[in-house]
Structure formats: structure tokens, C-alpha cells
Amino acid sequence: MSIKSSYIEKLRKFYEQFSAEDRVLILINADPDAIGSALAVKRLLWRRVKSVTISHINIIKRPDNLALIRLLNIDLTYIDKISRAEFTKFVMVDSQPSHNPKFTPFSFNVIIDHHPKTNDKAAFTDIRPRLGATSTIMIGYIKAAKIKPSARLATALFYGIKTDTDNFERQATFEDMRSFKYIFQYVNVNLTRRIEYAEISIDFLKYYQMALESVQFHKNYAYVHLQKVVNPDVCVLIADFLMKIHSIDWSIVSGLYKGNLEVILRNDGIQKDAGKAASEMFGEFGLAGGHKSMARAEIPLKNLENIMDYHNPKEVLSWLKKRLP
């Protein structure tokens, strides 16, 4: 079966899950790929169901994500303001129910994702782990439905692929590139540029100063512990920033956030596997994993109480150095 015909068949089965009186809730862990994919589902269901609402389980604080939502005028509702009883059908994109406890109360009719398969079930699933972004899958559906995407939808899907593949430096396939090329003709490039430039907020600047003042270098590694952070994404931005330093092959940035030690790992993706390293080094303490060049660990502080004084930055850095390859 060709890629085109497979999407046509999937689209047919997708539409079979809905009726004209359905009130649909699309639930996401909001990032660009999830937002773009949710908008695509909403467009597919336009005039086919009674209503469609997009809800997110996370607090959105990354400046580029906020810019995406603001500039594209995307209507999102936080999960705490949602009543399940108001909806008849539930859709998940760019995630799977077991990925987060906040998804547990919902019984999903549709799951579309590009992450590795779990044991989660739904009446309709389309999970393609080999692809770099869920937005790639949704572009396939849009094409199969013969829908000409608006500039707003196209820009969101374009940015979803761009971010989840890290500009095709991370896992990406020919299908991702083909979808990227197809959607580009409908994209508002000026909006994309404005979204990308909105990477840092004013309250993040102090962490860059802290990182520059406290960074420790050992061989080809750069280590930073930021202590308490307003958002774990600060650690991501600093880790990416440190990878721009000549001769640095690994950056490890940690911070304390809502009862967890957040550890972000970045490497050049050439030799060792960051995701494997995170899982091996931190998996026994909390959630850990990722891709070859980028990974993270989320470790409850209670699991570290008898191991180190996590209030002491020197002890945290010493512990990280001992555990990392």
C-alpha cells in the first residue's frame, strides 16, 4: 500500500469515530508539534462535529510557545477548566495516555502520535515511531482530505516539524522532509521568524548570567546547576546554549523545580547516546530517557534525600559528574 493510499484509509477510519452531534476534546501536552497537530485535527473535524476544544495539561511558559499561540491566535483551554461531562469524544495527539497521570481520567477514542508505542488502547490509533513529528502524520491526513491549509494551520505544522526534528538534526525521515516541503508553500514565513526569535523572556536572562558565572568544564563536558528555576525549559535553553561552545561535546544542566531535580543532557550526537545515558544513570531515581543527542531526567527530590544535599549546588554537580559517562 502506498503512503498516499494508507493515509486515505486511515482518514476514513478516523472519520468513522465521529458523528455530527459529537463534542470533541483534543487533549495535549502543549508544545509546537502537539499544538500544530491539534489544529490539524480541529480542521479535519470542521463542520463534521458539533464542537472541538483543544485543552493542554501543562503550564505553557516557553517564550517561543507563547509567541506561537499569540501570533497564530490559537484558542487553548487549560485542563483544570475542563469538565469531562461536556464532551462525547476524546482525542490525543503527540502523546499517549500513559505518558502523564493527567491523561488517566480520560478514555480516548483517537490516539495519533510519533513516540514509541505503549500498551494504551483506543478505538482508533495511528502511532508511527519512525517519524520525527506528529505534524508529519497530520499533514498526511490534511492531504488525504484534500484540504488546502490556511497560513495559520500551515505555519503551526511547519513549526511543529521544525522543532521536533531540531531542524532535521534529530530523528527525521524522507516523509518528514516531504511533508515539510509540501506545507512550506502555505506558510507565513514572517510569522515563523517572529516565533523563533521569541526564545528568551526577560525573567530567563538571570539564568544565563548564573550559568556563565558558575559553569564548570571538565574535558569536553560543561556542567551547570541553576538551583531553583521558574521553568525546566530554562535548563533546556542553557544546555543548548553551552553546546555552541567550541570543543564542548556534552552539556549537562540541572535545576530544582516543583519537588524534582530536572537534568537536561545535550551532546553532539556523534558518539554516545544521551537518551541511553540518561536512562542508565538516572532511571533508578526517576523518569529518564530521550534521543541520541538530547535527553532529560526528572528525579523526585525525596529519592535523593539519603544520597546528597540537593540544596548544595556543589554536591549536586559532584553527584552528576560521578554518574555521567
pLDDT tens-digit map of 166-190: 777 677 889 999 999 999 999 998 8
State the amino acid at position 93 in one-letter form.
V
* Average pLDDT, consecutive stretches of 10 residues, N- to C-terminus, the chain (325 residues): 78 97 97 96 97 95 87 94 95 94 93 92 94 96 96 96 81 89 94 80 85 90 92 89 90 93 88 84 88 86 91 91 78
- The one-letter amino acid code at 21 reads E
Task: Give the per-residue pLDDT at 72.
Answer: 93
Angle between helices 174-184 and 134-144 (to 10 degrees): 60
pTM: 0.72
Whole-number pLDDT of residue 92: 97
CB burial of residue 297 (10 Å; 0-12, 13-18, 19+): buried
- Give the domains, in start order, of the chain with CATH numbers: 3-197 (3.90.1640.10), 203-323 (3.10.310.30)
Q: Residue 225: what pLDDT?
A: 95
Q: Are 271 and 220 in contact (CB under 8 A)?
A: no
pLDDT tens for residues 289-309? 887 788 889 999 999 988 999
CA dihedral 223→227→230→232, nearest 10 degrees, is 40
Instruction: Note the pLDDT tens digit of each residue in 132-166.
Output: 999 999 999 999 999 999 999 999 999 999 988 87
Mark 228-246 as b/e (b = at least 16 C-beta within 10 Å): ebebbbbbbbbbbbbbeee
